[in-house]
Amino acid sequence: MLQYHTLPVTPFQQNCSLVWCGETLKTAVIDPGGDLDRLLAEVARRGLALEQIWLTHAHIDHAGGTAELARRLGLPIVGPHRGDQFWIDALPQQGAMFGFPPAEAFTPTRWLEDGDTVALAGHTLQVRHCPGHTPGHVVFFSPELQRAFVGDVLFAGSIGRTDFPQGNHDQLIASITQRLWPMGDETVFIPGHGPESSFGRERKTNPYVGGT
């Protein structure tokens, strides 16, 4: 069985998640934005074997610690979609833009496409391309856990910003209604910031996408 633990990192309190196989303890980290020492202390405390980095998108609060973590532990970088190449290239400048220490750019080991899967010790998660907040944003869905890791696409009671370069509001709404809602009302999502919610609850109450 898969398990997960979410740990807010960086001054933006970004929800970095550790996802692991309960039998083998093989682990992926989703969106290591920073605070790597705290993250690795959590990995050690739980006795986990960190093997992969998965990225939803390349904003610095989500991807800022990627290059250093990959180098320190020799980990593959999986995702995001190629549409976020320009955000990856801009990681050093994003530091100044958002008031973070400078972050290094990197080259993903594997870019992700809509319909791809990622695997951890035989457990499979589905990848959906959900552009709008950034053009290369992806989400990870585990039918086994009934959980989706959605980055900055959707929040409890809100949606992602679309006022960044290549942000697109209509595209974001389409990503949410056509790619997230089919994952099921019962599915609980872990957003990039703030508390978890379910797609069913957001469909009913979220002022930006309620009633869709």
Residues that bind Zn ion (CB under 5 A): 59, 61, 152, 192
DSSP-derived 3-state class of residue 121: coil
Closest approach, Cβ 133 to Zn ion, in A, equals: 6
SS (H, E, C) 89-152: HCHHHHHHHHCCCCCCCCCCCECCCCCCEEEECCEEEEEEECCCCCCCCEEEEECCCCEEEEEC
* Minimum separation from the CB atom of position 61 to Zn ion (A): 5
DSSP state of 212: -
Q: How far apart are CB 59 and Zn ion at their closest, in Å?
A: 4
| 152/202 with CB nearer Zn ion | 152
Query: Closest CB to Zn ion among 26 and 100?
Result: 100
Complex with Zn ion: residue 4 or 98, whichever CB lies closer: 98
The three-class DSSP label of residue 164 is coil
Of residues 21 and 55, the one with the C-beta less far from Zn ion: 55
Contact present, 145 and 2 (Cβ < 8 Å):
yes
What minimum distance in Å lies between the beta carbon of 200 and Zn ion?
Answer: 24
Beta partners for residue 138, in sequence order: 129
